[in-house]
Amino acid sequence: MDSPPPAPLPPQAPDRGMGCFAKGCLTLIIAAVALVIIFLCGGWLVLTRFADRFTATQPAMVEVRQPTPAEAQAAEAKWEGLRTAIRNHQETTVEFTADDLNALIATDPDFRKARGRLRVGIADSIVSLDLSAPLDSLKWTRFRGRWFNGNIHFGMSYVDDDFLFDIKSVEANGRQIPSFIVSSDFERSFSRSFSQSFRRRSESRRDGNSWLKHIRTISVQDDKVILTTRPI
Q: Mind listing the pLDDT tens digit for each residue in 146-169? A: 998 999 899 999 998 888 988 898
Residues 202 and 218: their CA atoms lie apart, in Å, by: 16
Q: Compute φ and ψ for 12, nearest 5 degrees.
A: -125, 160
Which amino acid is present at 113?
K
pTM: predicted TM-score of the whole model, two decimal places: 0.81
Whether the Cβ atoms of residue 167 and residue 182 lie closer than 8 Å to each other: yes
Whether the pLDDT of residue 46 is over 80: the answer is no
pLDDT digits (tens, 9 = 90+) for 11-31: 443 444 455 554 555 555 555
How far apart are alpha carbons 24 and 42 in whole angstroms?
26
